Structure 1
Amino acid sequence: MERATLRLAGLSGADHEKVPWVNHLVTAVRGQVGLEHGVVLPVWDALRRGEAETLGMLAQKSASGSIRFEVPEGRAATTAARAGRTAVARGIRTIDRQRAVRDRLIRRHGDPRQRPWIYLIVATGDIMEDIPQAQAAAREGADIIAVIRSTGQSLLDYVPEGATREGFAGTYATQENFRLMRAALDETSRELGRYIRLTNYASGLCMPEIATLAGLERLDMMLNDSMYGILFRDINPIRTFVDQRFSRQIHARAGIIINTGEDNYLTTADAVEAAHTVTVSQLLNEYFAKEAGLEDWQLGLGHAFEINPDLPDSFRLELAHALLARQLFPDAPLKWMPPTKHMTGDVFRGYLLDGFFNLAGAMTGQGILLVGMMTEAVVTPFLSDRDLALQNVRYVLSAAGGLTEDFHPPRDGFIQTRARAVLDDAVRLLETIADDTRGRGSAYPQPLLAAIADGTFGLMRRPPTAGKGLEGVCRKAPGYVNPAIDLLESGPAGVTSSRTTQGRSAR
């Protein structure tokens, strides 16, 4: 959060070893006076005292240990807080301008005519190779391009700098990579006459920073789950919940649609037995998102087509789960994920499964359809696999895209009965979490943390006293100052028309 605040104030760049200056500056402040009061007071007090002429120079000098930081009091604290607020406000205004640009481009180029939007992953590791592949995918019908991150980036406690050309099963999320891809897709949007959206990942140890960079560079969607980092990356739960709130405040301000990660639960837990935990996570994600200022049209809540296809009535079960999500969140652009867990390498079987997945999405009115490929989870798909997958999606949506108007399963039939059973289980689980009065001591300060520690979600046990990034968590002092939070909670000026425009297009 503190590093993200400095990025909003304009601090960027890295040293010769590519360690970002925001890391150097926060580390220096923390080492001398701690982070309990935030970085704004000690940093802008040091600038006031003439320790350096600019924020960038202060960060560089702090890396060599030549800056003396202190937490100011009285008039000095007021002056530092005011100066910090002025600097951070410039970054917030940039995010506001980028949101206005998006709205203007959507009005000019138009949105995709059909729903769901077609979401396709592009990631070679080389941003310069990603760009032509992303543009080709858009020409073949993709509405959203997701640049998946390099393996393990979520566990890096810094954001890499500059354009990157060597990633592992993905491309590093950096500000420059964001800028390059956004510019390329703007060019393709003009060519195609429809606005192409760009997605990346705001998760992991740098969730607030990456969300901030996404807002500054006008990304349109970000993967951002309230518990994913806890469960699947073993990041400290408290740090994750703190970071997700700040990042979602940024997303709310920037008009970014978030994608949550419930599909991941079904890679570790059975998709039938654990279906209710997906619903509970969706409800929690909705609550945390709205508490941070996001609106319904920004909630790309996740779920997935991951029931074992050998199970009798598997497709009917998938329809029940998808329809339940659609009815629980009628105004949210739900993100429907393709089969991966039960892909075997039989490309013909895989192509058929993806067709059924696409059909379920059309029948239940999903908002965002991630393109499944027949070699998914087996090998890295070829470009030809992507082309065939897009043909599959286009055929199903053309032939059956209106089925959501006609598909109304009988109240006491198999599908409705299954959906009610999953919802009942979800409600019982939420009641169990809320009513948990077992004595757990100070290590479990509230019931949700206790439930996560017990392995309730995705069968992962994550106590709040452990996990990666725990050393970055501290309790705020009474005089804590962070103008970014104040500015984000005050709400953007003149954003009503923007929300109305995007909300209308989402509906």
Structure 2
Amino acid sequence: MRGKLDLDPAVVRQARSLARKVGSPIVRLAKQHTTVSVERATLRMAGLAGADAEGTPWVNRLADVVRADTGLEHGLALPVWDALVRGEAEDLLTLAQKAAAGSVTFRLPEGRDATRSRTAATRAVRAGVRRIDAQRTARDRMIKRVGDAPRTPWIYLIVATGDIHEDIPQAQAAARAGADVIAVIRSTGQSLLDYVPEGATREGFAGTYATQENFRLMRAALDDSSRELGRYVRLTNYASGLCMPEIATLAGLERLDMMLNDSMYGILFRDINPIRTFVDQRFSRQVHARAGIVINTGEDNYLTTADAVEAAHTVTTSQLLNEYFAKEAGLEDWQLGLGHAFEIDPEVPQSFRLELAHALLARELFPHAPLKWMPPTRHMTGDVFRGYLLDGFFNLVGALTGQGILLVGMMTEAVVTPWLSDRDLALQNVRYVLDAAGDLHEDFVPAPDGFIVRRANQVLAETIGLLERIADEPGKAPLLEAIADGTFGLMKRPADGGRGLDGVFRKAEGFFNPAMDLLDGTP
């Protein structure tokens, strides 16, 4: 069936084939490298936690000493578990403490010593993977016991004060007011930290730090709310930045349900090295796949720096690439919260019809994915009445096109940090539109060869043209050249630049990482 937009199935197949052609060299590149954060995530899976008196995590302390002694081209696991097998310490924590004190020297074991190290490391990391599996089972059981959100789209609301103990009552209040998903946005700049803060945090800047303890506290609080409300309330955070693999691992260990995890966001908007980002995101998505976590991608961000009409095809291109990377890493359709946004300038003629065309194109290209529909931000002016109306139109597009995850728009968006009363009014807006419109997407069918159908097909054609141009770029990984040229979001990010490049390592012969092997399905 060709659907409401009469998309040619052959053209859709061509688009996916081109995305695979563009994406596969990146996957090969990712498989050839590791990063310091991937290696630290492996230590976290094996149970190493905590921080020293200065707040530096023990995984960082241990990784830094091993890196100085042996490099990371062979991975952390062999030298670390070799030291444990040799009796340098009785456990990982003690080993990290001794390493930080300078009382342990690491080596690359060979022969039988290497075999024993591999066996011990695999056993330790497998225990962490089993804990992630157990948390996935616990989620399924809880949903079965208390019930799930009664309708789609899921209503997604942001809560973050900087203080986790203030976030909790606000999140619970939001759930009582109708939110299905609570997103605790991260403190500004955390994505640029090359360590994960430890413990419960009470200070943050425009957000709350992502830590394992903060994850645990909020998950426990929303479990209480789930039992109270008779529906499972989902929790979201951000697996991005320099510690993307570690945060993904902590999310799996503490049963988060959704994670922001875009393949290019960190490259474009945080100037993180492209190779590091692609290596980290593949590992992170493998963790998310194992944990049953829904990812949210960040295509909406492109439209904050590029024109939402002229650059519409870059959103679709990124969605196709995100889909390819996600499925290659093991994620299923129901886990693909592909992003797009209501960001066309309201002064543009036919802006609402254009938004409908773009949203319906995403819906029909990815019919089994939930999709994450983002509200207007760029053209919010501070006129709260106009902003409230724009959010209503945004909600209506969501109803007309059957979006799966609807992020609640605020009439004070991009002007001030919303008050609780702003959130309450925003939720009233969502409830009114969705209750009034119901399943209006079942009745909405654009005119054949009308404005909406023509526009959607135009964007798809431009997407194919862009993918073809990227595929024709010189070099072994043409997507890297396209990113360097400013193709996405008008940001130019060369492959040999950006933050975190010094934490990328090409795998040497004999490289070993048991987490990678387990997530790849290797015994």
- Alignment TM-score, normalising by the size of structure 2: 0.92
Task: Work out whether 1:488 is the aligned partner of 2:506.
Answer: no
The partner residue of 1:324 within 354, 361, 364 is: 361
Match of 2:385 in 1: 348
Change in Cα spacing, 1:196 to 1:94, as seen in structure 2 (3 Å) is same
Q: Give matches, 1:93-492, under 5 Å.
A: 93-437=130-474, 445-490=476-521
Which amino acid in 2 is paired with 1:489? Answer: D
Which amino acid in 1 is paired with 2:320? Answer: L
CA-atom RMSD, angstroms?
Answer: 0.9
Change in Cα spacing, 1:395 to 1:456, as seen in structure 2 (3 Å) is same
Residue 302 of structure 1: how far off its partner (Å): 0.1
Deviations 1:361-405 (A, max 9, x none): 000000000000000011001110000000000000000021100
Deviations 1:242-287 (A, max 9, x none): 0000000000000000000000000000000000000000000000
Which amino acid in 1 is paired with 2:176? Answer: R
Change in Cα spacing, 1:491 to 1:482, as seen in structure 2 (3 Å) is closer
Match of 1:37 in 2: 74
Alpha-carbon distance between aligned partners in 2 of 1:122 and 1:61, rounded to the nearest angstrom: 40
Alpha-carbon distance between aligned partners in 2 of 1:65 and 1:12, rounded to the nearest angstrom: 19
Residue 170 of structure 1: how far off its partner (Å): 0.2
Which amino acid in 2 is paired with 1:466? Answer: G
Which amino acid in 1 is paired with 2:511? Answer: Y
Residue 66 of structure 1: how far off its partner (Å): 1.5
Q: Give matches, 1:26-105, under 5 Å.
A: 26-105=63-142
Alpha-carbon distance between aligned partners in 2 of 1:451 and 1:256, rounded to the nearest angstrom: 30
Alpha-carbon distance between aligned partners in 2 of 1:111 and 1:489, rounded to the nearest angstrom: 31
Residue 436 of structure 1: how far off its partner (Å): 2.0
Alpha-carbon distance between aligned partners in 2 of 1:321 and 1:426, rounded to the nearest angstrom: 12
Residue 49 of structure 1: how far off its partner (Å): 1.5
Change in Cα spacing, 1:278 to 1:491, as seen in structure 2 (3 Å) is farther
Alpha-carbon distance between aligned partners in 2 of 1:63 and 1:353, rounded to the nearest angstrom: 55
Match of 1:498 in 2: none
Which amino acid in 2 is paired with 1:319? Answer: L
**Matched position secondary structure for 2:243:** helix
Alpha-carbon distance between aligned partners in 2 of 1:282 and 1:247, rounded to the nearest angstrom: 18
Residue 490 of structure 1: how far off its partner (Å): 1.4
Residue 53 of structure 1: how far off its partner (Å): 1.6
Which amino acid in 2 is paired with 1:482? Answer: N
Match of 1:440 in 2: none
Alpha-carbon distance between aligned partners in 2 of 1:33 and 1:191, rounded to the nearest angstrom: 53
Contact 1:37 1:477 in 2 (8 A): yes
Post-superposition, which runs of at least 4 consecutive aligned residues in structure 1 deviate over 2 A?
none
Match of 2:42 in 1: 5
Residue 207 of structure 1: how far off its partner (Å): 0.2
Residue 491 of structure 1: how far off its partner (Å): 8.4
Alpha-carbon distance between aligned partners in 1 of 2:451 and 2:329, rounded to the nearest angstrom: 38
Alpha-carbon distance between aligned partners in 2 of 1:100 and 1:370, rounded to the nearest angstrom: 27
**Matched position secondary structure for 2:187:** coil
Which amino acid in 1 is paired with 2:365? Answer: L
Which amino acid in 1 is paired with 2:87? Answer: G
Paired residue total: 486
Contact 1:238 1:473 in 2 (8 A): yes
Which amino acid in 2 is paired with 1:486? Answer: D
Contact 1:203 1:225 in 2 (8 A): yes
Which amino acid in 1 is paired with 2:499? Answer: K
Alpha-carbon distance between aligned partners in 2 of 1:110 and 1:417, rounded to the nearest angstrom: 41
**Matched position secondary structure for 2:283:** helix
**Matched position secondary structure for 1:85:** helix
Alpha-carbon distance between aligned partners in 2 of 1:232 and 1:112, rounded to the nearest angstrom: 33
Deviations 1:321-372 (A, max 9, x none): 0000000000000000000000000000000000000000000000000000
Contact 1:299 1:333 in 2 (8 A): yes
Contact 1:253 1:491 in 2 (8 A): no
Match of 2:11 in 1: none
Which amino acid in 2 is paired with 1:45? Answer: D
Contact 1:363 1:401 in 2 (8 A): no
* Identity, % of aligned positions: 79
**Matched position secondary structure for 1:205:** coil
Alpha-carbon distance between aligned partners in 1 of 2:257 and 2:250, rounded to the nearest angstrom: 12
Contact 1:452 1:462 in 2 (8 A): yes
Which amino acid in 1 is paired with 2:300? Answer: D
**Matched position secondary structure for 1:199:** strand
Deviations 1:110-140 (A, max 9, x none): 1111110000000000000000000000000
**Matched position secondary structure for 2:506:** coil
Alpha-carbon distance between aligned partners in 1 of 2:471 and 2:432, rounded to the nearest angstrom: 45
